Chains A and B, each alone.
Chain A
Amino acid sequence: MLALTACSTPGQVALLRDEDGKVGAVAVSDPKTGAERGQLTAPNTQAGLRPGPLKPKPLTTNYDALLTVMPPAPRVFTLYFANGTTLTAESEKTLEELRRIVTPASEVQITGHTDTIGDGLSNDRLSLERATQVRSALVAQGLPVANAKVTGRGERELKVQTPDNVSEAANRRVEVIIR
């Protein structure tokens, strides 16, 4: 009887403003027929999940406590290299910031890139060296190696398009995504 009561709880859905201020929508349909009951499209509205047309109303339930455990959005950083595997002074500071941010639970995607100086093969190698160097700095900070994915993209993904054999600071970089 208790289980039956729990199963019949219709509950509700609430639409919140996105963290970046945008608002999406949630469509609600009948799970058996697939027929759409309606949508929530306005921020801070809620609607019961009963059969029949959806009836949106202003949000009255407070979900702040729930949202305190929502993990933060992934963050993207770019480190630039003066030459070889030497970071620019500015990017040394960014790396310091990264060291402070990563935790043993972080998942990190590290992707190295080069400019078009030199041949493709050596740039593949250099881009991977750059990425691996950044990983080493973060692993020294306690990030498990298994949580850090390293890729070298060589000169395939130029930030600034240039002809071959052009030195371009914006292309000598490592992109780091922390989740």
Chain B
Amino acid sequence: MRTKTVAGLLMLTGLSMATLSISGAAQAADIGRIKTVTGAVTVVRGSASTPAAVGQVLQVSDVIKTGADGRAGVTFADNSRFAVGPNSSVALSQFEFDDTTHVGKSLTTVDRGTLGVVSGQIAHENKDAMKVRTPTSLLAARGTRFVVDVTP
């Protein structure tokens, strides 16, 4: 019944396959979730900044910011995982993932702080597809667990 309503809406808006692929992309826009939060953690989306909550859905371009006592754990659609340390700013600059083919790419920007990474299916499928950017470097994960540390 719900499917029918959605199909009806698609017809009403006069969009067919194009919309379907967009709605697929919109679903993929749900790229990850906050799993653990300790201390001060906020998620910045556009101009809005909200306190991070366990279970919160993340989208491309979201920025995770932590205070001096803040830490956060995040999981992504490709099964990659992040541990964000205190005094950090971590932007989810790019994330594309096809859960059927496992092809995708991601770019995470660490402006400051620490980021622990366990790579997932994106890096497994294509060894240079998961990247982390720091102010001075571009890192490519080749199937691994690592830490990026941009603390003074």
Seen from chain A, the residues whose Cβ lies within 8 Å of a Cβ on chain B are 5-19, 22-31, 34, 37, 39-40, 49-51, 61, 63, 65-71, 73-74, 104-105, 107, 147, 179
Contacts and interface: CB of A to CB of B under 8 A. Distances in A.
30 contacts: A5-B152, A7-B135, A9-B152, A10-B135, A11-B134, A11-B148, A11-B150, A14-B146, A19-B118, A24-B144, A26-B140, A27-B140, A28-B138, A29-B137, A29-B138, A29-B139, A30-B138, A31-B137, A49-B134, A49-B150, A63-B147, A63-B149, A65-B85, A66-B116, A68-B71, A69-B38, A69-B73, A74-B75, A104-B54, A107-B33
Contact of B152 (A6, A61, A63): A6
B61 interface: no
Contacts of A107: 33, 75
Interface of B: 33, 35-36, 38, 54-55, 71-75, 79, 81-85, 112, 114, 116, 118-119, 123, 128, 133-152
B133 A67 contact: no
A31 B134 CA distance: 9
Contacts of B85: 65-66
Contacts of A67: 83, 116
A57 B128 CA distance: 23
Contact of B116 (A29, A39, A63, A73): A63
A66 B113 CA distance: 11
A149 B85 CA distance: 31
